Amino acid sequence: MSEKELDIISQYNEVKRANMDKIVLFKIGAFYEIIGNDAIKIAPILNLKETSKKYRGQMFPMCGFPVGAQSEYVRRLLENGFSIVIVNEKEISGKVKQKRERFVSDIVTPSISHLQEEFSYSQNSSYIASIGMLNKNAAILFIDISVGESFIEYCLPNRDSLMKKLFLYEAKEVLIKDDFPVNIDIFGINVIRISNSMICENDCIQNINGVQNLTHSEKMLFWQVLCYIENINPDVKFSINSIEKRYNHNQIYIPTSTILNLNIASDKIRNNNTLFYLLNKTLTPMGARMLKSILTQPKQININERLDIIEYLIRKEDLMNDIAQNLRNIYDFDRLIFRLINKTPNKNDFIKFIQSIYHSVELINVLLLERLFISEINIASSYGKQIFQEISSIIPYSDNIEFQDYDIPLDKIKAISDIIRDNIVLIKKISNFIGVIDTLYSLSFCSKENNWVRPQIIENDEIYIKNGYHPIYKSLFSDTKVVENDYISDKKNRTFIITGTNMSGKSLYLKQVGLICFMSQIGCYVPCSEMKIGKLSAIISRIGGFDAMEDGKSTFYVELEEIADMIYHADDNSLCLIDELGRGASFEDGLEISTKVLVHLHKYAKTRVLCSSHIYQITELEGKISGITNYHFKANINIHGTLEFTYLLEKGTAKQSILKEIARIAGIPEFFWNQDNIADNEDMKS
Ligand SMILES: Nc1ncnc2c1ncn2[C@@H]1O[C@H](COP(=O)(O)OP(=O)(O)OP(=O)(O)O)[C@@H](O)[C@H]1O
Ligand SMILES: [Mg+2]
């Protein structure tokens, strides 16, 4: 074995041993090589050819890419949740011949990567999730150090509830104590275990707004993050402005499972399947992040105030064009600040900053001329103008400046960075304002593009949806005819029991009512021809769909947990969606639990319920309790012997099982039904 081979493998092993949870990119000549299990893991993800190489007489799997392609591959690895160690090499001259020494030049994780523009892989939030126990619940601190955002969420301390939260916010790095009782190892999420002895309880979090209200266990979540970052890169600096405890006091109660089941913000297979994807016409990273947070954590807002702005914007096409023109030239203020306080910005960042501040002021001026009420505008206007003036005194602004070709001398760069550093708080306020405007622009653009209508916000508890349709389904299958349906619920008609054969349209209908109501609550136009609705306190669903995550628990148990949540939170101002309760139970258990739940929600919680079911006996509640009404979706067998669905919601109960007709269409032969079910006597005797 050559000296050189020995050298490489021992250097590699040394780095890998210290970084077991990261992918090691090992520079050998003009390539970065990935060796061993790392290669097996990532070759398919990066579309690299997996080969093998012989070291010390042993074959190792490996793959690699040219050094010039580094940033592209690093970004793809980060996007997939991997943390990376980059090992570079330098020549050192030995006594006899040149030798190569390798050294760790960079450790990049999904949250820290935004320090370098070339590795900044996404404009979305990049959260670290720090998890701990808080009494009998789990608490998760989500923190994005690159935009200075943090909040704490609470959930049951089981794998299912935790996974849903991590999935919703797309956390890629998860920190837990090494004795944390729940196993949450899953592909695409880097779980880092931290031992008690590593954590240092220090005061440096005292300056964060809201930290005074945190318990010791909640502060521990911060210390876990500090300990983790310190370990990766002790020089990283970040500033967090405030910490929000999300207990849902001033929010509409929408549990994470509902946000996932209604495809509001995250889809584990395709991301074009979500309401976020449909609504996201934002033109800045600040806008996209704000829209996502409105969808994942909808706050109680003055709905009409937001709708007024959207209506105004929809009517004024020229104004929309002016807004878009300015937004397109505004870059990520937050991440620029992150790079600046870490002294890693490049010239491009400064040029983008000047351009962004100029266009922010332009945008504010355009908006000030309009008769629009946007609460943050006056603050943003005075701060924006102040910073713009300071910068103009260094680089005089000219209207037709070509920023791409612009070269700023070093002393001016220094002067501008001083201005930014002195005004971080103000710039964050401008950045927040741009997020607000961009979100309003996006909602208006979508509402107009899709011909949605303004919901009428009323004081009573009626919900009236005329000709509603599922907005995501319609946009995904634009060449399919989508059948529109009404949903009209008032005091007399609060609980809908919906029957119908498989594939007849029950689930889609439930989800569409949920989504339309949700959209109205965030102040967006809605996909129907007319809508009236009041303020809702909660939208809660029990819809299957995340069963893969529920391993280790029976489907029925998860159903019951979600029903418990529904019983706890539903009131006369909420909407409950139940898709086939009791699927995982025996018929008798299914009927009993469905009946009890419906009676409770209807009679005692006095909430609105839409419940689909294959248990036809449940429809007997109609007539026994006033306000419960049966609806159904029809299926007909046409003259060619194929099933036809109308997808039209009608009053009454569906024709009971057409199992045999469906089975015949699926190819099950007629004789199958005539065979004896009872064991043959001859077989029993033997
Ligand atoms: N209103 C509609 N317009 C057009 N197509 C529809 C409509 N509703 C449902 N469909 C089509 O029918 C398919 C099945 O609908 P859905 O999943 O709602 O059925 P289901 O009654 O819940 O079935 P199951 O009982 O098997 O769960 C949808 O994927 C869609 O392709
Ligand atoms: Mg269904």
Mean residue pLDDT across the chain: 87
* Ligand 1 center from residue 411 Cα (angstroms): 64
pLDDT tops 60 at residue 544: yes
Q: Greater confidence, 449 or 555?
A: 449
Measured CA to CA, the distance from residue 494 to residue 602 in angstroms comes to 7
Measured CA to CA, the distance from residue 524 to residue 519 in angstroms comes to 5
- Give the ligand with the smallest distance to the CA of 543: 2
Q: Which residue's CA lies nearest to atom 9 of ligand 1?
A: 505
- Give the ligand with the smallest distance to the CA of 504: 1
Q: Greater confidence, 492 or 682?
A: 492
Q: Where are the alpha helices (DSSP H) in 533-623?
A: 555-569, 587-599
Helix (H) or strand (E) run with residue 574 in it = strand 574-579
Q: Which residue's CA lies nearest to atom 1 of ligand 1?
A: 483
Q: Which residues pair with 59 in a beta bridge?
A: 54
657 lines ligand 1 (CB under 6 A): no
* Ligand 2 center from residue 632 Cα (angstroms): 13
Measured CA to CA, the distance from residue 521 to residue 525 in angstroms comes to 10
Average pLDDT, stretch 425-438?
92
pLDDT tops 50 at residue 552: no
Question: What is the number of other CB atoms lying within 10 angstroms of the CB of residue 179?
Answer: 9
Q: What does the pLDDT read at residue 549?
A: 43
Average pLDDT, stretch 325-334?
94
> Ligand 1 pocket test: which of 472, 504, 511, 615 has the largest number of ligand atoms within 8 Å of its C-beta?
504
> Would you say 108 and 82 are in contact if contact means Cβ atoms under 8 Å apart?
no
Burial tier of 609 (Cβ tally within 10 Å: 0-12, 13-18, 19+): buried
Average pLDDT, stretch 418-430?
90
pLDDT tops 60 at residue 317: yes
508 lines ligand 1 (CB under 6 A): yes
What atom in ligand 1 is closest to the CA of residue 648? Answer: 1
Which has the minimum average pLDDT: 262-276, 377-391, 524-538, 619-633? 262-276
Q: Which residue's CA lies nearest to atom 4 of ligand 1?
A: 482
* Ligand 1 center from residue 473 Cα (angstroms): 10
Average pLDDT, stretch 52-81?
90
Domains of the chain: 3-108 (3.40.1170.10), 128-247 (3.30.420.110), 303-446 (1.10.1420.10), 456-665 (3.40.50.300)
Taking CA atoms, 590 is separated from 504, 506, 615, in Å, by 21, 18, 8
Range among 85-94, 247-256, 551-560 rated most confident: 85-94
* Ligand 2 center from residue 543 Cα (angstroms): 9
> Ligand 1 pocket test: which of 508, 510, 645, 657 has the largest number of ligand atoms within 8 Å of its C-beta?
508
507 lines ligand 1 (CB under 6 A): yes
Q: Which residue's CA lies nearest to atom 14 of ligand 1?
A: 503
pLDDT tops 50 at residue 550: no
Q: Which residue's CA lies nearest to atom 26 of ligand 1?
A: 502
The dihedral built from the CA positions of residue 541, 546, 550 and 553, taken in this order, carries a sign that is: positive
Condensed to tens digits (0 to 9), the pLDDT of residues 568-606 reads: 999 999 999 999 887 777 888 889 999 999 999 999 999
205 lines ligand 1 (CB under 6 A): no
Q: Which residues pair with 62 in a beta bridge?
A: 35, 51
* Ligand 2 center from residue 427 Cα (angstroms): 48
Q: How confident is residue 269, by pLDDT bands cut at 50, 70 and 90?
A: low
Q: How confident is residue 380, by pLDDT bands cut at 50, 70 and 90?
A: confident
Which has the minimum average pLDDT: 268-282, 317-331, 452-466, 478-492? 268-282
Measured CA to CA, the distance from residue 99 to residue 428 in angstroms comes to 49
The residue count of the chain comes to 686
Average pLDDT, stretch 627-646?
84
500 lines ligand 1 (CB under 6 A): yes
Taking CA atoms, 644 is separated from 508, 579, 613, in Å, by 17, 22, 20
pLDDT tops 60 at residue 516: yes
- Give the ligand with the smallest distance to the CA of 501: 1
Average pLDDT, stretch 235-250?
80
What count of Cα atoms within 13 Å lies in the side-chain half-sphere of residue 19? 25
503 lines ligand 1 (CB under 6 A): yes
Measured CA to CA, the distance from residue 341 to residue 424 in angstroms comes to 10
pLDDT tops 50 at residue 547: no
* Ligand 1 center from residue 366 Cα (angstroms): 46
* Ligand 2 center from residue 473 Cα (angstroms): 14
Name the packing angle between helices 555-569 and 587-599 (round to 10°): 10
Share of the chain above pLDDT 70, in %: 91
Taking alpha carbons only, the member of 352, 139, 111 closest to residue 238 is 111
506 lines ligand 1 (CB under 6 A): yes
What count of Cα atoms within 13 Å lies in the side-chain half-sphere of residue 155? 23
Question: What is the number of other CB atoms lying within 10 angstroms of the CB of residue 165?
Answer: 18
Share of the chain above pLDDT 90, in %: 51
Which has the minimum average pLDDT: 60-69, 503-512, 651-660? 651-660
Q: How confident is residue 160, by pLDDT bands cut at 50, 70 and 90?
A: confident
Q: What does the pLDDT read at residue 548?
A: 41
Q: Which residues of 304-335 are buried (b: 16+ CB within 10 A; e: fewer)?
A: eebbebbebbbeeeebbebbeebbebbbbbbb
Average pLDDT, stretch 401-415?
75
647 lines ligand 1 (CB under 6 A): yes
pLDDT tops 50 at residue 351: yes
Condensed to tens digits (0 to 9), the pLDDT of residues 646-682 reads: 999 999 988 766 667 777 777 888 788 777 766 555 5
Q: What does the pLDDT read at residue 5?
A: 55
> Would you say 74 and 34 are in contact if contact means Cβ atoms under 8 Å apart?
no
Q: What does the pLDDT read at residue 1?
A: 43
Task: Look up tokens 């012989």; give the residue.
Answer: 54
Residue 42: helix, strand or coil by DSSP? helix
Cα dihedral: 464, 467, 468, 473 (round 10): 170
Task: Look up tokens 């009409």; give the residue.
Answer: 304
Q: Which residue's CA lies nearest to atom 16 of ligand 1?
A: 505
